[in-house]
Structure 1
Amino acid sequence: MAHLQPTHAPILNSSAQLLILPVNNAGILLDPILIRSKNLYPDNYQRYYRACRDGSLMVGSCLMHKRSREQAGLGVSSNGNQPSYIANLVISDHPYHPTRARWLTAALVDLQQQLIPLIRYQGIRRVALLARPFITSHAQNDSAQNGSAQNNAINDTELAKSIALDWHSDILPLLTHHLEDLPKLRIDIHLPKDINI
């Protein structure tokens, strides 16, 4: 049984073997941590961006990437604390659109199916999940709507609020339901500091 542990620690300092990054299938990253991960793990970003560009990355899927290790140069010394795998969890079709329950559910099912062989045959035991894109997607949407035309802003904001998921009542129970049954796994859920643990 997996152990889900909420934390406020920085995810990029984690010693996790697998990093779960919530992304969209438009290929646009707005979250500061996702932008930083783009520079830290360029091989993952290039594969993700190519899949977005050619249309093969669907909302509600998970793009698992096995990282290639550098053999020479400065990268060798920093490789010990970096993840071996990165799971790009596709939870939205645009960075300003909120996560929907059916998209998140489908992406978690896909992630779970891809994690089982990694746990069984690759010895994956520590996972880190970035939670901020789940939480701030509807907040970004609300702030973006404030700058748009008044006629559309009211309808779009009401639609976004009706679709947007709440962390405690919607997202966390879905994560728990789909990831808790994975064997011998510790999942650190990296939350923003304004969310109580």
Structure 2
Amino acid sequence: MTTLQLTHAPILNSSAQVLILPVNTASIFLDPVLMRTKTLYPDNYQRYHRACRDGSLEVGSCLLHKRVREQAGLSASHNGNQPIYVANLTVSDHPYHPARSQWLKTALIDLQQQLIPLIRYQGVRKVALLARPLIFDHSSTNIISKEESSTNSLPLDWQTFTLPLITQYLQHLPKLRTEVHVPRSVPIAS
């Protein structure tokens, strides 16, 4: 059974073996942490961008990428603290569109199915999920039209939908520790 832990620690300092990044199908990043991953993990970004460009990455899927490990140079000393895999959790079709419950559910199911062999055969024991792109800032909302509310395009609430979905689909993975990195504005119960 998975141990799920909420944390305010920076995700890029995590020692997780799998880094889970919520992304969109437009290959545009607005979140500063996601923008930083473009330069930290260029092989992942190139594969993700190529999949977005050729239309093979669909909303509600997960693109798992095994990183190319650097063997020489200054980055070689940092290889021990960097993830082996990067999971691009496709939860939106555009950076300005919030994740929808069905997209998040199907992406988490896809992630779960891809993590099981890694846990069983590759010894993966720790994953880290960047939650900030999944948390909707209600203070910046405009009035939502009746059409948007009827098409299930409302942004997901963190406590009501997002956290329970993450818990539901990641809690049954065996021998796994999941760190969910949330912004400081989200309270963490002790």
Counterpart CA distance in 2 for 1:87 and 1:70 is 19
1:5-45 deviation per Cα after TM superposition (whole angstroms, max 9, x unaligned)? 00000000000000000000111111000000111101000
Contact kept? 1:97, 1:138, Cα under 8 Å: no
Query: What residue identity is the alignment partner of 2:162?
Result: I
1:40 aligns with 2:30: no
Counterpart CA distance in 2 for 1:191 and 1:135 is 8
**Residue 68 of structure 2: aligned partner:** 68
One of 157, 160, 170 as aligned partner of 2:161? 170
Contact kept? 1:18, 1:84, Cα under 8 Å: yes
1:179 aligns with 2:186: no
TM-score (ref. length: structure 2): 0.92
Query: What residue identity is the alignment partner of 1:6?
Result: L
* Percent of aligned positions that are identical: 66
**Residue 130 of structure 2: aligned partner:** 130
Contact kept? 2:112, 2:170, Cα under 8 Å: yes
Contact kept? 1:138, 1:161, Cα under 8 Å: no
1:156-196 deviation per Cα after TM superposition (whole angstroms, max 9, x unaligned)? 99649961110001001111110000000000000000000
| 3-state DSSP of counterpart to 1:22 | strand
Contact kept? 2:21, 2:129, Cα under 8 Å: yes
Considering only aligned residues, what root-mean-square deviation do their CA atoms show, in Å? 2.0
| 3-state DSSP of counterpart to 1:9 | coil
| 3-state DSSP of counterpart to 1:169 | helix
Count of aligned pairs between the two proteins: 187
Query: What residue identity is the alignment partner of 1:132?
Result: R
| 3-state DSSP of counterpart to 1:95 | coil
| 3-state DSSP of counterpart to 1:75 | helix
Runs of 4+ in 1 over 4 A off after TM superposition: 137-140, 156-162
Counterpart CA distance in 2 for 1:100 and 1:108 is 12
Counterpart CA distance in 1 for 2:16 and 2:154 is 32
**Residue 148 of structure 1: aligned partner:** none
* Runs of 5+ consecutive residues of structure 2 not aligned to the other structure: none
1:51-106 deviation per Cα after TM superposition (whole angstroms, max 9, x unaligned)? 00000000000000000101111111111100000000000000011111100000
**Residue 120 of structure 1: aligned partner:** 120
| 3-state DSSP of counterpart to 1:163 | coil
Which structure shows the higher helix fraction? Answer: 1
Contact kept? 1:99, 1:137, Cα under 8 Å: no
Counterpart CA distance in 2 for 1:132 and 1:157 is 26
Counterpart CA distance in 2 for 1:2 and 1:63 is 21
Contact kept? 2:136, 2:158, Cα under 8 Å: no
| 3-state DSSP of counterpart to 2:136 | helix
Query: What residue identity is the alignment partner of 2:12?
Result: L
